[in-house]
Amino acid sequence: MRGVVRRFRSLPIRSRLAMLVAAAVAFGVAAVSVTCWFIVQGKLYEQVDSDLKEMVRRPGTIELLRNCTTTPQENPEGIRPNGYVQLIKEEGDPCVDPTSQGTVKVTQSDRDVIKSGKSSNGVVRNGTDENGNAVRVLTLYLGVDASDSQPVALLLATPLKSTQATLNELALILLLVSGIGVIGAGAAGLAVARAGLRPVDKLTEAVERVARTEDLTIRIPVEEDSEDEIARLSRSFNSMTASLANSRELQQQLIADAGHELRTPLTSLRTNVELLARSEETGRAIPPADRKALLSSVTAQMTELAALIGDLQTLSRSDAGTSADRVQVVALQETVDAALRRARLRGPELTIRADVEPWYVRAEPSALERAIVNILDNAVKFSPEGGTVDVRLKDGELTVRDHGPGIPAEELPHVFDRFWRSPSARALPGSGLGLSIVARTVQQSGGEVSLTPARGGGTVATVRLPGAPTPPPQLD
């Protein structure tokens, strides 16, 4: 059985659908055919039983048995009727009417009718005559014979040859019709399967083409008003390829941007190192002040490279998504306080005013702290010396306002792009990835971030995160 199931599962979907349709139709046709055959059999037998009971009511039937014998005889006209008529007793041979077609074999059920001694509509059964021909038998109790005081029953029978021939012909017709129906159902099922799976074939071809050519611009045409499963699958495939194409484009852009950003510090670093190496090779000493400046430049460039690589790693982890095991309930006010301590160390000449209220969110703690530190670093970087940075956390909304030069309106749409830096800020240290990391981290935490110009100058960074002012209850 397992081998049959295994072979069935190895067949193509079209063949399996055609076989299932044919099997379902075969089951239905078989059930209808068998039911029809039994209904017709019952109706024919009802007609035969009605004819037998009509013989009992026919005048002269009982009188014909007065001169009955133990063997059938031909009537004076030489005509043998199409039926059997005989009397039976509890003991002894049956008494056969002279015009009877033959003798019916008496069974125990006939003798039980005699023993019961009750007059009723009689008992109907199937039986055979002395030659083995099938007959339909009606046994009817008559009473006690006055000659020998034995109970007597009348046995009437009619041949079933024509009835059985009709039933056999009906069975043959039903068998032929069922076979034609099953074959037609199989062919129709195969045609329907081919028509229904044609969109799946197109989808399969598209998937194979994408796997072969890596062309993510391939799309499957879908009717706009179609909402069936195939249309939904096609839309999902188109959406998947579009997402993959967009991801590939972003990846290529990230590589190109990273290469561009790395080229400048690497070129400067190479130049400085070559100067130091040439000095050693030629024996021409570099003045101590210039040598110190070169070493300081090398250190700064290495620091810039390390920061850029760290930002790229952080951004790649953000692109890969946040793992569920790293997400936990975070006290946002504590994260903001930790970021404020770091910001005050980086800008000791600034005044940072903070108003922080409790708020609890679900996020990755280290990533969230890094995002808030980046926001505060921007505020410190662009604040004038002796300036003020206002930080406020209330009802899940964190605002950081600086009093720097602000961001021009035409540059606001690009502030969260990777490696984007304002022309006025290109001379300042940074990789151009800080706000991109902020935007990705906040979005993965279910929040949103924005930068807007502040009244009176400066910029306001706003972060909104879903949460609650009280921590959730701990689960055991």
314-328, pLDDT tens digit by residue? 666 655 555 556 788
Pick from 156, 148, 129: nearest CA to 89: 148
Segment 218-233 mean pLDDT: 74
Categorize the per-residue pLDDT at 240 as very low, low, confident or very high, splitting at 50, 70 and 90.
confident
For residue 238, give both structure tokens: 């188109």
Segment of 6-20, 25-39, 100-114, 175-189 carrying the highest mean pLDDT: 25-39
pLDDT at 275 (0 to 100): 81
The distance in angstroms from the start CA to the end CA of the chain is 49
pLDDT above 50 for 75? no
Categorize the per-residue pLDDT at 2 as very low, low, confident or very high, splitting at 50, 70 and 90.
low
Number of residues that make up the chain: 476
Residues 6+ apart with CB under 8 A from 108: none
Burial 369-380, CB ≥16 within 10 A → b, else e:
bbbbbbbbbbbb
pLDDT above 50 for 71? no
Give the span between the Cα atoms of 466 and 445, in whole angstroms: 8
Give the span between the Cα atoms of 457 and 387, in whole angstroms: 12
For residue 433, give both structure tokens: 């990835």
The string of DSSP letters for 76-114 reads TT----SSEEEEEESSS--EE-TT-SS-BPP-HHHHHHH
Task: Provide the residue ranges of all domains of the chain, joining segments of one domain with +.
Answer: 65-162, 229-317, 324-464
Pick from 107, 44, 99, 38: nearest CA to 72: 99
Segment 233-243 mean pLDDT: 82
pLDDT at 317 (0 to 100): 60
Residue type, 384: P
pTM, two decimals, is 0.45
Spacing of C-alpha 200 from chain mean position:
16
CATH assignment, 324-464: 3.30.565.10
pLDDT above 70 for 428? no
> pLDDT (tens digit, 9 = 90+) per residue, 263-277?
766 777 788 888 888
Structurally, at CATH architecture level, domain 229-317 sits in: Orthogonal Bundle (1.10)
Categorize the per-residue pLDDT at 421 as very low, low, confident or very high, splitting at 50, 70 and 90.
low
Contact criterion met (CB below 8 Å) for 386 and 404: no
- Segment (H or E) for 315: helix 288-319
What percent of the chain clears pLDDT 90, i.e. is strictly above it?
11
> pLDDT (tens digit, 9 = 90+) per residue, 176-222?
988 888 888 878 777 877 777 777 777 778 878 877 887 777 777 77
Segment of 23-37, 118-132, 145-159, 252-266 carrying the highest mean pLDDT: 23-37
Segment 143-156 mean pLDDT: 77
Segment 114-121 mean pLDDT: 73
Categorize the per-residue pLDDT at 153 as very low, low, confident or very high, splitting at 50, 70 and 90.
confident
Residue type, 23: A
Mean pLDDT of the chain: 78
pLDDT above 90 for 457? no
Residue type, 211: A
pLDDT above 80 for 247? no
Q: Which letter does DSSP use for residue 364 in this model? A: -
pLDDT above 60 for 403? yes
Give the span between the Cα atoms of 243 and 237, in whole angstroms: 10
Dihedral sign, Cα of residue 186, residue 189, residue 190, residue 191: positive
Angle between helices 434-444 and 288-319 (to 10 degrees): 20
Q: For domain 65-162, give the fold.
A: Beta-Lactamase (3.30.450)
pLDDT above 80 for 424? no
Categorize the per-residue pLDDT at 401 as very low, low, confident or very high, splitting at 50, 70 and 90.
very high
